[in-house]
Amino acid sequence: MAAKAPPVISVKDEMRKWSRSIKSQRKRIALVRTMDYLRQSHLSLVREAHNHTNVVAVSIHVNPGIICKQVIVKC
């Protein structure tokens, strides 16, 4: 069975609605913050977060002044 694609949220109110939905299910959320593109160290943080919580969210801040490579990663 293929895993469901995670939601991509780019609006603050959507994030608030999503997080409240998760919390209403009595689940905890861990946030892994990133800058520019995903690195192996970020994936290590995601894996570790899964050991401590139910749901892991990853923020990807893209600086428009920097050209970034698109990286597709499976955990």
If we measure between CA atoms, which residue out of 34, 27, 28 comes closest to residue 62? 34
Helices (H), 2-69: 12-24, 40-50
Higher pLDDT, 67 or 16: 16
Catalytic sites, residue numbers: 42
Q: What is the mean pLDDT of residues 50-71?
A: 74
pLDDT at 56: 92
- Percentage of the chain exceeding pLDDT 90: 41
pTM: 0.68
The pLDDT, as a whole number, for residue 36 is 67
pLDDT single digits (tens) 11-29? 889 999 999 999 999 999 9
